Amino acid sequence: MPAGMRVGVLTGGGDCPGLNAVLRAVTRKGISVHQHEILGFRSGWLGPVEGLTMPLTLDSVEEILNRGGTILGSSRTNPYKVDDGIARLKATLDEHRVDALIAIGGEDTLGVAQQLTHDGVPVVGVPKTIDNDLDATDYTFGFDTAVHIATDAIDRLRTTAESHHRALVVEVMGRHAGWIALHAGLAGGANVILVPEQPFSVERVCDWVQQRFERQYAPIIVVAEGALPEGGKELLLTGEKDAFGHVRLGGVGTWLADEIAGRTGKESRAVVLGHVQRGGTPTAYDRVLATRFGLHAIDAITEGDFGKMVALRGTDIVRVPLREATASLKTVPLERYAEAEVLFG
């Protein structure tokens, strides 16, 4: 593709630390190296559907590397669920003379990007999710920061748990994949880690809690929001679904704390970390990974290598088909979960 293109970029789905680092890298290399114009679309896929734009210049990305969130804003809009959404999206791209689009997001955002590729829109994807559940990349940016935040919370909660001889249940994000729970639980020295991939026995959890109290220590239990008790169902905050068909999960931590208190007679409390895991300054690792993704994404655009997603394989950034990136979720292998059990109790 020739230099001097007009490139659109958007951030979709849940926000996470590192998004601004991608925007900065895309803009700086796009303008300084490839002589492109960079046009930001606000509020995820809602931007190109509604014509919500924001020019990205060298000045506008000068001080955003260490900022969490996204200067473009985000949403969980699915243009395929909006009346005339795709026609309106294409009309916006035509109106603003956008030659190609960079979509930064997780499975839902990149799923839309994959469909748009089939519908003739030139798109390159960048993987973003704190859940680290995209199968085509070893890591997604945002995950490292979320794990650091959750680990710091566990460290802080341990001191108050010991002071009051309480069991503390820490609920972290993770709808279908327990990567945050596993990594933060291991890093924080949790006594029990519960992930969506492995239904858990409440009785066994309570046995671990009792063993911990018998040793005169307070137990810490880390549970992913999508973790299931044996024979049980996901706990929902509401029955409403978003534009991608997802319900809001939440409450397993509080439910489990009540079960522990009732079965053991020990005081138990639940702490739900929720969106605090998404916010704040990205770690150095996430800043570097996000920057590398952005640099490679704008190169792919320039070369006309559309329908691809940039991905981390080992220490290299590679390009994979969007269909591969969205084919399946990357979940915690049960053998990796099992090998950590020696540390529980």
Note the pLDDT tens digit of each residue in 54-70: 999 999 999 999 999 99
**3-state helix, strand and coil shares in percent for the chain, rounded to the nearest 5:** 40, 20, 40
pLDDT given at position 121: 97
Indicate the range of 6-10, 250-254, 329-333 predicted with least confidence: 250-254
Q: What is the pTM of this model?
A: 0.91
**Torsion sign (Cα): 248, 278, 244, 46:** positive
Is residue 87 left, alpha or beta, with left meaning phi > 0 and alpha meaning psi from -120 to 50?
Answer: alpha
Residues 193-204, mean pLDDT to the nearest whole number? 93
pLDDT given at position 244: 47
Mean pLDDT estimate for the chain:
91
pLDDT given at position 2: 53
Annotated binding-site residue? 276: yes
Q: For the chain, what percent of residues have pLDDT higher than 90?
A: 81
Query: Closest Cα to residue 128, out of 15, 283, 26, 27?
Result: 15
Q: Any idea which residues carry the catalytic annotation?
A: 131
Euclidean distance between CA atoms 219 and 165, whole angstroms: 9
Euclidean distance between CA atoms 69 and 54, whole angstroms: 16
Annotated binding-site residue? 278: yes
Annotated binding-site residue? 73: no
Kindly tell me if the per-residue pLDDT of 239 is higher than 60: no
pLDDT given at position 337: 65
- Which two structure tokens, joined as six digits, stand for 114? 């994959």
Give the three-state DSSP class for 141.
Answer: strand
Annotated binding-site residue? 175: yes
Give the three-state DSSP class for 314.
Answer: coil
Residues 90-119, mean pLDDT to the nearest whole number? 96
- Is 249 or 283 the better-scoring residue by pLDDT? 283
- Is 116 or 234 the better-scoring residue by pLDDT? 116
Cα separation values, 93 from 13, 56, 60, 75, Å: 20, 16, 22, 19
Annotated binding-site residue? 107: yes
Where do the domains of the chain lie? 6-134+282-326, 143-279
pLDDT given at position 1: 46
Class of CATH domain 143-279: alpha beta
Residue 238: pLDDT band (50, 70, 90) is low
Q: Which fold has domain 6-134+282-326?
A: Rossmann fold (3.40.50)
Cα separation values, 67 from 22, 112, 288, 304, Å: 11, 26, 13, 30
Residue 340: pLDDT band (50, 70, 90) is low
